[in-house]
């Protein structure tokens, strides 16, 4: 939403405090109840328009607004700010978008410049398009991406009726998106290694590399450059003739395949199990509209 333009009464007061009473920007900010950038922009606009306090006093509010905020002639193209220059200048200490906008207006005194809101919007749009990611090309049998799902399924002991949450292991092949999923009691090393063994048996082969997240079970020393793989996990890789390549911490795009696989498992397995459990519970409950609901049945002799 665009910010509301200052009234000419407050604009005159800002200029009076600056030019007549020679007050600092901070003092004008506190006296007028406006931002520091607003004070700077108002004074800069007045200077660009060639005004002084004598000229401001003679102008009406309408004329003063036209001098301070000139409109571009019809058909005149707006001068777009240079986002590359803005991005480089913002890295300098003390430089803000408000200051860069004042400099931008000084270069476009004919009214072809954008206001502060649109000026910032153009820069943000350019910045959003700049966040690019490298496209990964997966060859058949090259990588297996593994991880645990964030949402946990639950099992119920048939004898005691105790409900226990379990882990959901997911493995996804890079090229074919073939997905393997199984539930284990924990994320401990024996369950972690067992899930890998059963997953490779199901696949019927061994990929060139296994890409896990840097969880404590598989990686003892998490690091972006030189993570230390757990010894038993490393021995599994040596046994199968493959290599462990942990993804970087806090970089889910390194293992985007298994991230999508986790979503699919949560939506089509966990969510479905929850719905089936609710339906089973609803069907097993006695109907309330039956005449003998909640009453002991009498047997005829």
pLDDT per residue as tens digits for the range 168-192? 999 999 999 999 999 999 999 999 9
Q: Of 1-5, 181-185, 289-293, which gets the smallest average pLDDT? A: 289-293
Q: CA torsion angle for 20, 24, 30, 32 (degrees, to 10)? A: 30
pLDDT per residue as tens digits for the range 223-240? 888 889 999 999 999 999
**Band (76; pLDDT cuts 50, 70, 90):** low
Pairing between β-strand 209-211 and β-strand 143-148 as defined by DSSP bridges: parallel
Backbone angles phi, psi at 276, to 5 degrees: -65, -40
Q: Which tokens hold the place of 4?
A: 């509301």
Please name the residues in contact with 96: beta carbons below 8 A apart, sequence gap of 6 or more: 37, 90
So what's the pLDDT on residue 73? 62
Q: What percent of the chain has pLDDT over 90?
A: 47
pLDDT of 284 over the 60 cut? no
Nearest to 260 by CA among 166, 138, 154: 138
Under 8 Å between Cβ of 40 and 98: yes
pLDDT per residue as tens digits for the range 253-277? 889 999 999 999 998 888 888 765 5
Structure-model confidence comparison of residues 295 and 247, the more confident one: 247
Query: What is the spatial distance between Cα 224 and Cα 106, in angstroms, rounded to a whole number?
Result: 46
pLDDT per residue as tens digits for the range 45-67? 898 888 999 999 999 999 998 88
Our measurement of the distance from residue 177's CA atom to the centroid of its chain's CA atoms, rounded to an integer in Å, reads 25
So what's the pLDDT on residue 294? 45
**CA-based max dimension of the chain:** 114
Please name the residues in contact with 272: beta carbons below 8 A apart, sequence gap of 6 or more: none
Domain 143-283 has CATH 3.20.20.140: no
Computed on alpha carbons and rounded to an integer, the radius of gyration of the chain in Å comes to 34
**Band (3; pLDDT cuts 50, 70, 90):** low
Q: Hey, where are the domains in the chain? A: 7-69, 73-130, 143-283
Residue with tokens 């006296």: 31
pTM: 0.55
Q: Distance of CA 153 to CAs 125, 134, 146, Å?
A: 41, 34, 18
Nearest to 169 by CA among 179, 161, 178: 179
Residue 158, number of CB atoms within 10 A of its CB: 7
So what's the pLDDT on residue 283? 55
Q: Which helix (H) or strand (E) holds 92?
A: none
Neighbour order of strands in the sheet with 179-184: 179-184, 167-173, 143-148, 209-211
Q: Which tokens hold the place of 180?
A: 């393997």
Helices (H), the chain: 8-15, 25-32, 36-48, 53-58, 61-68, 83-89, 97-107, 116-130, 189-203, 231-240, 256-265, 271-284
Under 8 Å between Cβ of 174 and 257: yes
Q: Is 278 exposed, middle or buried (0-12, 13-18, 19+ CB in 10 A)?
A: exposed
Nearest to 148 by CA among 228, 203, 215, 231: 215
């Amino acid at each position: 939403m665009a910010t509301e333009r200052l009234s000419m009464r407050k604009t005159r007061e800002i200029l009076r405090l600056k030019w007549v009473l020679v007050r600092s920007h901070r003092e004008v900010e506190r006296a007028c109840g406006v931002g520091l950038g607003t004070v700077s922009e108002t004074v800069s606009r007045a200077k660009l328009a060639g005004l002084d306090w004598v000229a401001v006093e003679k102008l009406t509010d309408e004329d003063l607004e036209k001098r301070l905020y000139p409109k571009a002639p019809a058909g005149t193209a707006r001068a777009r700010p240079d986002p590359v220059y803005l991005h480089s200048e913002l890295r300098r200490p003390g430089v803000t978008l408000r200051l860069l906008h004042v400099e931008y207006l000084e270069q476009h005194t004919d009214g072809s410049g954008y206001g502060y809101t649109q000026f910032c919007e153009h820069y943000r749009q350019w910045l959003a398009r700049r966040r690019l990611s490298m496209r990964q090309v997966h060859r058949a049998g090259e990588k297996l991406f593994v991880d645990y799902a964030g949402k946990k399924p639950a099992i119920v002991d048939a004898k005691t009726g105790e409900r226990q949450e379990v882990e959901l292991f997911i493995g996804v092949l890079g090229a074919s998106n073939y997905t393997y999923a199984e539930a284990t009691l924990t994320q401990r090393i024996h369950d972690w290694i067992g899930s890998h063994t059963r997953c490779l048996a199901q696949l019927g082969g061994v990929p060139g590399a296994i890409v896990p997240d840097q969880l404590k079970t598989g990686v003892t020393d998490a690091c972006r450059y030189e993570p230390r793989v757990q010894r038993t996990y490393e021995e599994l890789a040596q046994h199968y003739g493959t290599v462990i390549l942990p993804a970087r911490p806090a970089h889910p795009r390194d293992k985007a395949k298994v991230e999508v696989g986790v979503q699919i498992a949560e939506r089509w397995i966990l969510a479905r199990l929850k719905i089936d459990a609710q339906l089973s519970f609803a069907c097993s409950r006695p109907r309330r509209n039956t005449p003998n609901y909640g009453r002991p049945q009498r047997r005829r002799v």
